[in-house]
Amino acid sequence: MNSTDLRVALERLIAADPANADRDTLSDTVKTSSQLRSWLASVDLKCSRRARQLAEAGRSEPADSMNSRQGRRSNKEAKKITDRENVGESMGGFEGALGDGKVSGEHLDALAAAMKNLDDDLKAKFREREAELLKHALTEGVDVFTRRCRQIARQLVAAASAGKSDADELDDQRKRSRVAHWVNKITGMHHTHLELDPIRDAALWSVVNAYLAKLRQNDGNAKTPWSQMQVNAFLAAVEAGVINGDGASGSSDGDNTADAGGDAGRRVPEVTVLIDWQTLLSEMHGNTVCETEDGVPLPVSTVRRLCCDAEVLPAVLGGDGEILDAGRSKRTANRQQRRAIRAMHRTCGHPDCTVRFSACRVHHIKWWWKDLGPTDIDNLLPLCERHHHLVHEGGWGLSMTPDRVTTWTRPDGAVAYTGSSIDRATNGVGSPATSDDWEFASN
């Protein structure tokens, strides 16, 4: 809006009498007010940009602080102005339309929200569609435009995931997992928002639901509202220390024996995965089944890996959906076995890894699900999440002799390392690996 348009618009608002206006006059007044607000929002945006430049030169407070204090706004609203400035910086067409009163500040808010959780490559792809988005913003209300921005962001994420393996997709979901905490200033209620990948969400709720089942059996809870029992179950699970980031026990040595119902011998939450036999044994996963009991799809390769240690019980299905094997908890190392393995291994069994034993899973050298490997000490080795992933999804081979000499084989078949896996040296036995143990260290 040029200076003449601004003066005309301002004079219209000064002369307006909303209390006695008819419908058409009132509509014109609202439209004029909206145009002026957009122009003011563009002024705020430019002020925020200049404040940032001055702050970078050490000549001003940060833009958020100026928007909050001098602008007499909440911190949330001040941050919103900064986000609009970032959008305007990379999508100049929207900044110009905002100054002309053709789009609102909330249209820029929708763009900022849609790009918030995108990586740099996807943000660049999103910005490439500026002309298309601006065309829609000129005619669409904020709510419709917000949905459109979200849909485009989802399409970009889906397209980026199309060429990835299911395990890579799960890794991306884990990276996007987050927790947020805030307090409602009016009610004083505390809010905790937890966003998780499917595996860890299933592990979390398996424990919470177990506590919930126990609470329902208590006669004293007969009149307790369901929502309150859910809260009590969640807090009980957290306070018991049985939940951590990987759905495993929270104890320092990985041998927590308290389960959700108070019985001994439970070390990790139980998650049931439905998977058909062909999918479990082969690399093919097309029109097959691999999902939680609630129908959430899971990466096949990840399920195979979790079968080694976590209480992921594979309900293996035949061709007609009949249960062939409902899983066996005895495949997990018991408390005595873990103590024996811990006595030999301070850390992960990979020769270059220093991840402590308590953060490792106990891996079956001969795989439990494919090779029918026994849950015996001679077949068990602690592996951290990274090296467990290397063996299961990374194509690396791993074998071990009864005296715990391990051989690591690269995906191309070359032997990369052979040596003792024991890292507690006793009388010279079981010394940590040296460079001489690596047969292809240069590769």
On whether both 320 and 335 belong to a single domain, the answer is no
Residues 120 and 227 in one domain: no
Short-list 390, 428, 400, CA closest to 341: 400
β-strand partners of 183:
190
| Residue 41 domain flag | yes
Residue 442 forms part of a structural domain: no
Residue 189 resides in a domain: no
- Does the residue 211 lie in any domain? yes
Distance CA 336, CA 362 (A): 13
pTM of full prediction above 0.95: no
Does residue 42 sit in the same domain as residue 149? yes
HSE-CB of 64 using CA atoms within 13 angstroms: 8
Residues 310 and 255 in one domain: yes
| Least trusted range by pLDDT, from 115-129, 327-341, 349-363, 405-419 | 327-341
pLDDT of residue 256: 34
Could you tell me if 319 and 342 lie in one domain? no
What is the longest distance spanned by two Cα atoms in the chain? 98
Question: Which residue, among 245, 246, 374, 352, has the nearest Cα to 305 in the 3D structure?
Answer: 246
pLDDT at residue 214 is higher than 60? yes
Alpha-carbon separation of residue 78 from 84, 97, 368, 438 (angstroms):
10, 21, 56, 57
Mind spelling out the 3-state secondary structure of the chain?
A: CCHHHHHHHHHHHHHCCHHHCCHHHHHHHHHHHHHHHHHHHHHHHHHHHHHHHHHHCCCCCCHHHHHHHCCCCCHHHHHHHHHHHHHHHHCHHHHHHHHCCCCCHHHHHHHHHHHCCCCHHHHHHHHCCHHHHHHHHCCCCHHHHHHHHHHHHHHHHHHHHHCCCHHHHHHHHHHHCEEEEEECCCCCCEEEEEECCHHHHHHHHHHHHHHHHHHHCCHHHCCCCHHHHHHHHHHHHHHHCCCCCCCCCCCCCCCCCCCCCCCCCCCCCEEEEEEEHHHHHCCCCCCCCEEECCCCECCHHHHHHHCCCCEEEEEEECCCCCEEECCCHHHCCCHHHHHHHHHHCCECCCCCCCCEHHHCEEEECCCCCCCCCCCCHHHEEEECHHHHHHHHCCCCEEEECCCCEEEEECCCCCEEEEEECCCCCECCECCCCCHHHECCCCC
Specify if 172 maps to a domain: no
Tens digit of each residue's pLDDT (9 = 90 or more) over 56-107: 888 888 888 888 888 888 888 999 999 999 999 999 999 999 999 999 999 9
Contact between 426 and 412 (Cβ < 8 Å)? no
The answer to whether residues 311 and 343 belong to one domain is no
Choose the final residue of a domain: 329, 360, 392. 329
What residue type is assigned to position 41 of the chain?
A
Angle at 368 (CA atoms; ends 362, 372), nearest 5 degrees: 145
Task: Decide if pLDDT at 243 tops 60.
Answer: no
Whether residue 190 lies inside any domain: the answer is: no
Based on the fold, state whether residues 316 and 339 are members of the same structural domain: no
Instruction: Kindly report the average pLDDT of the chain as a whole number.
Output: 76
Question: Could you tell me if 62 and 140 lie in one domain?
Answer: yes
Q: What is the pLDDT of residues 167-209, one digit of tens each?
A: 677 777 788 788 888 888 888 888 989 888 877 887 788 788 8
**Residue 7 shares a structural domain with residue 138:** yes
pLDDT at residue 82 in the model? 93
Q: Any idea which residue has 């602080």 for tokens? A: 65
Nearest alpha carbon to residue 33 among 8, 18, 13, 17: 13
Question: For residue 363, what are the domain limits?
Answer: 331-437
Do 252 and 314 reside in the same domain of the chain? yes
Q: What is the CA radius of gyration of the chain?
A: 30
Q: What amino acid is encoded at 147 in this protein?
A: R
Phi-psi region of 430 (alpha: psi -120 to 50; beta: other; left: phi over 0): left
Final residue of a domain: which of 304, 329, 354?
329
Please check whether residues 352 and 304 belong to one and the same domain: no
**Residue 40's pLDDT band (boundaries 50, 70, 90)?**
very high
CB 151 within 8 A of CB 134: no
Q: Is residue 366 part of a domain?
A: yes
**Cα–Cα distance for residue pair 349/421, rounded to 1 Å:** 6
User: Residues for the chain: how many in total?
Assistant: 443
Please indicate, yes or no, whether residues 21 and 44 belong to a single structural domain of this protein. Answer: yes
Task: State the total domains in the chain.
Answer: 3
> Is 191 part of a structural domain of the chain?
no
**pLDDT at site 37:** 93
Q: Place 437 in a pLDDT band, splitting at 50, 70 and 90.
A: very low
Task: Tell me: pLDDT of 398 over 60.
Answer: yes
Mind listing the pLDDT tens digit for each residue in 102-150? 999 999 999 999 998 888 999 999 999 999 999 999 999 999 999 999 9
Banded pLDDT at 166 (limits 50, 70, 90):
low
